[in-house]
Chains A and B, each alone.
Chain A
Amino acid sequence: MIYFDNAATTWPKPPAVAEAMVHFLEDVGANPGRAAHRRAVESGRIVYDAREAVAELFNAPDPLRLIFGANVTEALNLALRGYLRPGDHVVTSSMEHNSVMRPLRALEHQGVELTVVGCSPEGFLDPADVEAAIRPHTVMIALNHASNVVGTLLPVAEVGRIAREHDLLLLVDAAQTGGAYPVDVQAQRTDLLAFTGHKSLHGPMGTGGLIIGERVDVGRLRPLKRGGTGSNSELEEQPGFLPDMCESGTPNAVGLAGLRAGVRWVLERGIETIRAHEVTMTQRLIDGLGAVDGVTVYGGLDAERQTATVSFNIAGMAASEAGLRLDEEHGIMCRVGLHCAPAAHKTIGTFPDGTIRFGLSAFNTLEEVEQAVEAVRQLAEEPR
């Protein structure tokens, strides 16, 4: 069996992740930040350590400006719906996932102006096109760091420099890069970084968050939900300080225990080591698939310019059929279709049919890549 659906959720996880979650459930268990007995404090410590681990990985200076939530989608909704107001203008790219596009389209109905900057058919974005889209009332640029469809890396550091020059905020969706490619909120001048726990941070589903930089006016940010925080309990008004302001309700502490273990695994293994392994596998996959007659590989075809996610199609075979047969006949689990990113598929020319997507992770091997290429070759070479 080969698991190539890591761009959706990574599997397997480092063993320490399940161990940390079992430890939490069996030996800790209490509500973090809601009482002062030993188990509540230990639970709070685990959540705080998760905060520090994620902040360290993304080079965020203040772990208390990190908001934990359910996933990257919730974080993106907080950043977009919490910050933008009618009359504001926001710039995004044509490679975005619906987690960015749908909140933005809804805000558009409420009077936020939106410019979607086109990307090349390979999925690359020219920073000059972003700069040209800036207007006097632009307040934010929202970009994914890498496409979930073809893995192409967007030039966030260059756009971050442009954002600073124009006094705008840069929101980066790091769903596809966090834990697999260097993400550095300072070097990449990122004001709002949305991440998810269940992909290359190797945590469980139900974990993610938003890092809020110093340039963000917290007074302007509206929380998505309000409620109990364990702080300022004498007041019926929501606290105005981070992280409590945006973290109402009991958090997914058992999930965050797992996330902490996953991020610690990434920090110990090292992003450079993980990245080097993924680049080697990705280039072999691109080259192997590209050499099969009838297979079209999308994106820049250069592993150095993308994550370990490769989209392709087989001539004469619907992606859905290929996905079913890869699973049933070859034991290869992947994702086919539009990958929740219709704009990206329009950009690369595969809308509405979609693609077959192989998403690799640090736990995959070159042998699996070779087997998968051979399986695709067999499907492609069938007489039709």
Chain B
Amino acid sequence: MSEDSYSVVLVYSTSYALRAEKVLADAGIACKLIPVPRHLSSDCGVCVRVRRADREPTRGALEAAGVEIEGVYDI
């Protein structure tokens, strides 16, 4: 797995993405809010990008914090 491979977490609204950013910061997982890639959704909002190696810890941290996830995709 290269350093440049990422996963994105799609959530239902920007407010959820901002909450996810806080939850991940508390969990020590680096993330960045980016525009939702067009091939994943036609939504105009943001999603949460994490390193692919952090994908499952990310999913776990968000689920534990009650942040509803629309989908998790490798990009």
Interface residues of A (CB under 8 A from B): 32-36, 41, 44-45, 48, 51-52, 62-64, 229-234, 239, 241, 243-244
Contacts and interface: CB of A to CB of B under 8 A. Distances in A.
B6 interface: no
Contacts of A41: 18, 33, 46
A48 B43 CA distance: 20
A231 B18 contact: no
A244 B33 contact: no
A231 B45 contact: yes
A282 to B, nearest CB: 38
B10 to A, nearest CB: 11
Interface residues of B, number: 21
**4 nearest CB pairs, A to B:** A33-B14, A48-B18, A36-B35, A231-B13
Contact of B19 (A64, A230, A231): A64
Interface of B: 12-19, 21-22, 33-36, 41-46, 66
Contact of B12 (A36, A62, A241): A241
Interface of B is mostly: mixed
B15 A34 contact: no
B71 to A, nearest CB: 14
Contacts of A52: 22
Nearest to B46: A36
A236 to B, nearest CB: 13
Contact of B13 (A36, A45, A51, A239): A239
Nearest to A241: B12
Nearest to A66: B15
Contacts of B44: 34-35, 230, 233
A175 to B, nearest CB: 24
22 contacts: A33-B13, A33-B15, A34-B44, A35-B35, A35-B46, A36-B35, A41-B33, A44-B17, A44-B18, A44-B46, A45-B18, A45-B21, A48-B15, A51-B15, A230-B14, A232-B12, A233-B43, A239-B13, A241-B13, A243-B13, A244-B13, A244-B15
A230 B45 contact: yes
Contacts of A232: 12, 43
B3 to A, nearest CB: 22
Contact of B15 (A36, A233, A234, A243): A243
A32 B14 contact: yes
Contacts of B36: 36
Contacts of B16: 64
